Amino acid sequence: MNELYANGGVIYKNPSQFGGTWAFRVLADGMVICEKSGVITPEQAGLPSITNNLTEMIAVIEGFRVMPSYWVGRVFSDSQVTLGRVFMGWKWNNIPLWLHHLYQAERKRLMNWDDIKYTLLDGHPTQVQLEAGKGKRGGPVSIHNVWCEKVCGQEARRFVETRTLDPHPVMV
């Protein structure tokens, strides 16, 4: 099975005037084949601030962009809003037009769009929940989503360390 795990976060609080982070991991038949992460600032996004919903969407779209056009698999995210926007036609409130255009381009490029499935994960599981396979709300959890969360935190710390910001950020 082919799987895409995606997650996003913000630097300091949501919404963030400093920026946000995103990460994704791709698996094929249980093996990690691609991982990417990054930071986006309000200036880069053309927005006054960055939200977690924006970074969650960036993570999914960036994951799609590395897939071959014939890709079929399952997208895993702990963002119900993102999955709703990507797969269920939910409104794209507060998401910039440039990102919606990237989504539309990927949706056209991925030839088997209707065969791509999705799963909503419970986010931020404890070790006990990971071992049980269920989060606090009873939904599935994944070590790969935890990896994405961890990398988002690392990206945020690296970003803060390279700038003259408050040395005591709250990472979300």
Residues 144, 20, 72, 90, CA torsion sign: positive
The pLDDT assigned to 172 comes to 47
CB 139 within 8 A of CB 133: no
Split at pLDDT 50, 70, 90, the class of 1 is: confident
pLDDT over 70 percentage in the chain: 95
Count of helices and strands (H, E) across the chain: 6, 5
The pLDDT assigned to 166 comes to 52
Rg of the chain over CA atoms, in angstroms?
Answer: 16
Tell me the HSE value of 134 on the side-chain side, using a 13 A CA sphere: 5
Q: In CATH, what number does 2-161 get?
A: 3.30.420.10
pLDDT over 90 percentage in the chain: 92
Structure confidence by residue, pLDDT tens digits, 96-116: 999 999 999 999 999 999 999
Q: 165 pLDDT exceeds 60?
A: no
Write down how long the chain is. 172
Task: Read off the pLDDT of each residue in 55-82 and give the average, rounded to a whole number.
Answer: 98
Task: Read off the pLDDT of each residue in 18-31 and give the average, rounded to a whole number.
Answer: 97
- Residue 4: both structure tokens together: 């895409």
Q: Cβ–Cβ contacts within 10 Å for residue 7, how many?
A: 31
Task: Read off the pLDDT of each residue in 18-42 and give the average, rounded to a whole number.
Answer: 97
